[in-house]
Amino acid sequence: DAKTTQPTSMDCAEGRAANLPCNHSTISGNEYVYWYRQIHSQGPQYIIHGLKNNETNEMASLIITEDRKSSTLILPHATLRDTAVYYCIVRLLPNRDDKIIFGKGTRLHILP
Amino acid sequence: DAGVIQSPRHEVTEMGQEVTLRCKPISGHDYLFWYRQTMMRGLELLIYFNNNVPIDDSGMPEDRFSAKMPNASFSTLKIQPSEPRDSAVYFCASSFSAPGLAGVATKNIQYFGAGTRLSVL
């Protein structure tokens, strides 16, 4: 089953780029990589997704390695409002053997 | 679109009482998910529906929990009787299964509501 590994927590200075890594070494060829974040007391918020190519939207950029075994979410100019838990996910529907969709994520602290 | 709408936002009840949480998914979405979040267990999937039909309810903790989706625009999660350990934030999410690249599995991006914070005393 495709699962992800993320650091438990990270710090980033305000105004700098925040680079959040994710390992998904068992990802299947037809599985997307999705990123969500959850700001305290709010519902998880979709950020971005990708398959093979790097992706960019108004919120972030997603860099996926050529072998697709890892990816990095980049917040180009982090602000205090980016303080949140960030989740890297490769399957948004559970299957028989794996009911976990959202793992523990990375708690990102933006430092003033 | 207003997004996924959940009600109530906060619910305080006494042990043994029935609790009903409500969710209105985004119009046009064909999947609906119920999650529970606690500090200890994180974000857990309880049940999900596709086209109003329950597909997987293996995450529902006990028979005290039940969920229905009578139509495409409404779902309920009911706890009867409620217990203090049911205290948590309950989220509803909806998604639309969209074809990905040719030959690749569909995308299924979930959009979440603001949640219902349940306290059972």
Q: Measure A36 CA to nearest chain B CA, in Å.
A: 10
Find tokens 């602000």 and name the residue: A79
Asked if B110's CB is within 8 angstroms of A92's CB, the reply is: yes
Asked if A51's CB is within 8 angstroms of B45's CB, the reply is: no
Asked if B112's CB is within 8 angstroms of A43's CB, the reply is: yes
Task: Assess contact for B83 and B18: CB atoms under 8 A.
Answer: no
Q: Which residues pair with A50 in a beta bridge?
A: A33
Q: What is the pLDDT of residues B50-74, one digit of tens each?
A: 999 999 998 998 899 999 999 999 9
- For A37-41, A88-92, B23-27, which range has the lowest pLDDT when averaged over its residues? A88-92
Nearest to B120 by CA among B81, B93, B92: B81
Q: What is the pLDDT of residues A34-58, one digit of tens each?
A: 999 999 889 999 999 998 889 999 9
B100 has a chain A CB within 8 A of its CB: yes
- For B64-73, B84-93, B96-105, which range has the lowest pLDDT when averaged over its residues? B96-105
Total residues found in chain B within this entry: 121
List CB contacts of B75: < 8 A, sequence separation 6 or more. Answer: B22, B23, B25, B32, B34, B49, B67, B68, B69, B92
Q: What is the pLDDT of residues A12-21, one digit of tens each?
A: 999 999 999 9
